[in-house]
Structure 1
Amino acid sequence: MKNFFLLLNFIFLPLIMMADNGLPVKPRILVFSKTAGFRHSSIPTGKAAILKLGKEHNFDVDTTENAAVFNEKTLKKYAAVVFLQTTGNILNDQQKASFEKYIKSGGGFAGIHAATDTEYEWPWYGKLVGAYFVSHPAQQVATLNVTDRSHRSTKHLPAIWERKDEWYNFKNIGDDLKVLITIDENSYKGGINGAVHPMAWYHEYDGGRAWYTELGHTEESYTDPNYLEHLLGGIQYAISGN
């Protein structure tokens, strides 16, 4: 028994000392990519890219498509939850309640591309992610306007950013969103949101933080340095303060 308590001290004392000294504890995030609708071929590439970002920028990454992890005990381990290309109805009522409690307790959320094509019948989630997907034209090159270059996810980007991706049209766009990037509908065919067509945004919501980027449909996105820095900044914002 004495040796058992010595072992516990050996394991936990360094962590206690780190907290007492104000040293940062390495954050851990959950990347969730369950799909109940369209499944993006870029999901494996996206997972690999976020795992690599974690190794390079000092945060741990768990990946799963098992919705059972959405319980209060498990979610407490994570500084942020990333919905990577999720689609459809992916959580049951108990799992939804646990995720709501997680955000209300100060948790962070980052949504990537099809995260807005998720849980249309869950109004709380719609407000968290900021909008719902309604349609998209064919993939094509378009001009993005980086309207806020002070945020950690956009400060590295040019004011005008041209790239090829799949461009979503949205409905139920939140009026509290802090828009980071808009798309110029005159630069491509198929936009329906008008002069202010948001593509990336963030906001504080119901006690937590949420960041979303529409960008990231293509596999090529996850080898694009500008996009990866954009994604990293969004994840870091979701982690911050938790």
Structure 2
Amino acid sequence: MYGNYQTTFLNLKLIIYLTNQVKEKMKKYLSLCLLVATVILFQSYTAAKKSAKVLVFSKTKGFRHTSIETGKEVIQKLGTEHHFEVDTTENADAFTEDNLKKYATVIFLNTTGDVLDDKQQVAFERYIQAGGGYVGIHAATDTEYDWPWYGKLAGAYFISHPAVQEARFIVKDKKHPATKFLTDSIWMRKDELYNFKNINPDIKVLINLDEKSYTGGKNGDFHPFAWYHNFDGGRAFYTCMGHTKEGWADDKFQKHLWGGIEYAIGGQKKLDYSKAHSKF
């Protein structure tokens, strides 16, 4: 009888031991599952953050800025820092409806002259009308003078500039991503200071030039230098900064440009070509 009790007691201890072992293994298994799930969710989140893609277009048919290559490098750096992909091209054949659909924003980086043919122009118009984004940098306003739609999208056309010099930039709007990081209403910066014609009255001015702070200004008290607006279904941002290589290294300028790109990306909404009305 005693032997049977002893055997039962030992079996019970064994069962308790095995049960505890199973519990420990289950805890480890559940912890491992939780870790794997966390990694998968993090990777999914990271992939989503990287899903925005922009096209940097830098074809020139007029003056060519030596800072273009530096500009490409900085935009690629911003892409790495802020989780968007960057393609660069000087080939206007990229302006087809099928190709432009890949991009949340198209950046005109110091383009000059007549860079797109008629069919490519229509493809770009349709892209904007479908909800695409546009970022113009510096000489983007020295581009496509015979395409009035583009002039309205960019917001103005270049007419002249004085020598590169420092000027007082007056910040008019601190709520926009391109200016919200600025702590002061005055930004002193050295750059090539464009004068403009055909300024679109619908642009929302972010930065205005104080012509009293330098020589050669021709626009008077209203001299916009960076702006944004909704245009023909899409989002457009322009900054006149970006002439010199040295200027691209400026941390404030990089934050300014990223804010403009962020605005133009616009939450990565899917393009809706049913809203496009330009015809090939």
Q: State TM-score, norm by structure 2.
A: 0.78
Structure 1 position 24, deviation (Å): 5.5
Q: Considering fraction of residues, name the structure with more helix.
A: 2
- Offset from partner CA, 1:134-153 (integer Å, 9 cap, x none): 00000011100001010000
Structure 2 counterparts to residues 52-131 of structure 1, below 5 A: 52-131=77-156
Q: State TM-score, norm by structure 1.
A: 0.90
Unpaired runs of 5+ in structure 2?
Answer: 1-39, 270-280
Structure 1 position 165, deviation (Å): 0.5
Query: Which runs of 4 or more aligned residues in structure 1 lie more than 2 Å from their structure 2 counterparts after TM superposition?
Result: none
User: Which shifted more, 25-34 or 50-59?
Assistant: 25-34
* Bigger Rg over Cα: 2
Q: SS of the counterpart of 2:168?
A: strand
User: Which shifted more, 181-190 or 149-158?
Assistant: 149-158
Task: Work out the CA distance in 2 between the residues paired with 1:228 and 1:25.
Answer: 19
Structure 1 position 187, deviation (Å): 0.3
Give the letter for the 2:168 counterpart: T
Unpaired runs of 5+ in structure 1?
Answer: 1-13
Structure 2 counterparts to residues 208-219 of structure 1, below 5 A: 208-219=234-245
Q: 1:197 aligns with which of 223, 238, 242?
A: 223
Structure 1 position 33, deviation (Å): 0.2
Contact 2:169-2:208 at 8 Å conserved across structures: yes
Q: Percent identity?
A: 61
Structure 1 position 25, deviation (Å): 6.2
Give the letter for the 1:196 counterpart: F
Contact 2:161-2:195 at 8 Å conserved across structures: yes
Give the letter for the 2:261 counterpart: I
Q: SS of the counterpart of 2:238?
A: strand
Matching residue of 1:159:
185
Cα gap change, 1:215 to 1:25, in 2 (>3 Å):
closer
CA RMSD of the aligned region, Å?
A: 1.3
Q: SS of the counterpart of 1:240?
A: helix
Task: Work out the CA distance in 2 between the residues paired with 1:25 and 1:151.
Answer: 22
Task: Work out the CA distance in 1 between the residues paired with 2:189 and 2:178.
Answer: 17
Task: Work out the CA distance in 1 between the residues paired with 2:178 and 2:246.
Answer: 19
Q: SS of the counterpart of 1:190?
A: coil
Q: SS of the counterpart of 1:125?
A: helix
Number of aligned residue pairs: give it.
Answer: 223
Matching residue of 1:6:
none
Give the letter for the 2:97 counterpart: E
Does 1:235 pair with 2:280? no
Give the letter for the 1:44 counterpart: E
